Amino acid sequence: MNVTVIGKEFVRGTSRKTGEPFASNLVHVTHKKIGCDGLVAESIWLRPEDVPMDSIEVGKVYTVDRDNRGRIIDFYPAK
């Protein structure tokens, strides 16, 4: 699925579930959705070691691949 990046931020904290520290790149995107007049917005959590923050450009189009449970498995610039 193609998405357009409209914002990005680096977040860190402690997991409420496990108590372990975490760090993530939070990317805010828009994309089309069946039945929606216009676009929908979504925030995608990406591991910094998989997708460095400086490789993400606001305003650019990216392809997001998800597994059968909807988890992100790849995020890369669209062709």
- The token pair at 12 is 């860190």
pLDDT-derived band of residue 8, with 50, 70 and 90 as boundaries?
Answer: very high
pLDDT tens for 30-77 read 999 999 999 999 999 999 999 999 999 999 999 999 999 999 999 999
pTM: 0.88
pLDDT tens for 22-32 read 999 999 999 99
Q: Is residue 10 within 8 Å of residue 26, measured between CB atoms?
A: yes
**Residue 27: exposure state from Cβ atoms within 10 A (0-12, 13-18, ≥19):** buried
How far apart are alpha carbons 15 and 18 in whole angstroms? 5
Number of domains, the chain: 1
**Residue 43: exposure state from Cβ atoms within 10 A (0-12, 13-18, ≥19):** exposed
Domain of residue 41 covers 2-77
